[in-house]
Amino acid sequence: MTSSKSRCDGLLEWSVVGSFTSIGHKVRSRHWDPIPDGALDDQVVIITGATSGIGKKLATEAARLGARIRFIARNPEKSEDLRNKLIDLSPHGDIGYYIADLSIMSDVAKVSDQILDNEPRIDVLINNVVVLPQERTETSEGLELAYATDLVGPFLLTNRLKDRMIDSAPARIISMISGGMYTQSLELDDPNYENGEYRGSVAYARAKRGLMVLTKMWSDQLAATGVTANATHPGWVDTAGVRDSLPGFYRISRPLLRTAEQGADTVLWLATSSEGGMRSGKLWHDRATRTEYRFKKTIETSAERNQLWAQLSATVEQLVG
């Protein structure tokens, strides 16, 4: 990137609104090369949360690029409908899905076993599923919904599949986080949000902060294995989740929101580019690495990272053994 391009990119990033909205994508994408056809030929790509929003666009584009898509979703009818659409786009028609509720750890454990039984290799795992509750809701296993879906579920799924990915190396783990993470630090004292006033946007952002920390830990653990672990945030995207969960924000920002295609771009680029295969433990936005922190108060210590891992491990052990 030339110095003028770098200055422009830096100004956009500093402004936040310019970076996260469609403005940033429009300006930055002028300098990008298109992802080549066949970039995912014959690669097994697992995507969570693929039946709507950014996840659906990810599945659609990955199928067009030649991937052998395996997506995980809750709704059998939506899943079958999506599978049929992806088959029409795919050069080989090898598209499959697994049914699971990724907020339920027994379901995550079960679907992980099914994937390991059926898929001899995994080239790319995309942790995309997300919820942003408007009020505190517990799953049938007693976990707060955002904590379960946005953090505990990806922790369990990735840890169960990562050995298969090592065997399949080179392979890539890509986790979708949120710019809301910048406002939050780890929640270690009350991770299940049982005390005080509940705000769904805060629970969601804290879960995404946790997923960023896990990304760095997976990167360290997988060093020299040929498996990279990266995170990306898509900016502010016009999805049903944003419309339903953040109606006030949606009304104000709607003219500047990104499309699902724009939100999906960096994930697909990380799945196909040389950078995504060589660099690990990074946060990416619009095909470039970004700072993980905007406020000092959100920076976690090494001890806090280890405490997060221990808490999640204990929760998983209690629920699924």
Q: What is the DSSP string of 96-144?
A: EEEE--TTSHHHHHHHHHHHHHH-S--SEEEE------SS--B-TTS-B
**Model pLDDT, residue 2:** 64
Tally of domains in the chain = 1
Q: Is residue 265 part of a domain?
A: yes
Catalytically active residues are 204
Which CATH number characterizes residue 229's domain? Answer: 3.40.50.720
What global pTM score does this model have? 0.96
Domain that residue 147 falls in: 34-320
Q: Is residue 1 part of a domain?
A: no
Q: Is residue 118 part of a domain?
A: yes
- Tens digit of pLDDT for each residue in 18-70? 999 999 999 999 999 999 999 999 999 999 999 999 999 999 999 999 999 99
**Model pLDDT, residue 76:** 98
Query: What amino acid is encoded at 170 in this protein?
Result: P
For 11, 52, 111, 126, 315, the CA distances from 55, given in Å and listed in that order, are: 29, 6, 18, 9, 27
Beta-carbon contacts of 75 under 8 Å, excluding residues fewer than 6 positions away, are 51
Percentage with pLDDT > 90 across the chain: 92
Listing DSSP states for 197-235 in one string gives: ---HHHHHHHHHHHHHHHHHHHHHHTTTTTEEEEEE---
**Model pLDDT, residue 181:** 96
Q: Is residue 136 part of a domain?
A: yes
**Model pLDDT, residue 49:** 96
Give the Cα separation of 103 and 106 in Å (integer): 9
Q: Is residue 91 part of a domain?
A: yes
**Model pLDDT, residue 270:** 98
Q: Is residue 271 part of a domain?
A: yes
Neighbours of 259 (CB within 10 A): 15
Q: Which residues of the chain have pLDDT under 70?
A: 1-2
In terms of residues, how long is the chain?
321
**Model pLDDT, residue 5:** 83
Q: Is residue 238 part of a domain?
A: yes
Radius of gyration in angstroms for the set of CA atoms belonging to the chain, rounded to a whole number: 18
**Model pLDDT, residue 243:** 85
Q: Is residue 21 part of a domain?
A: no
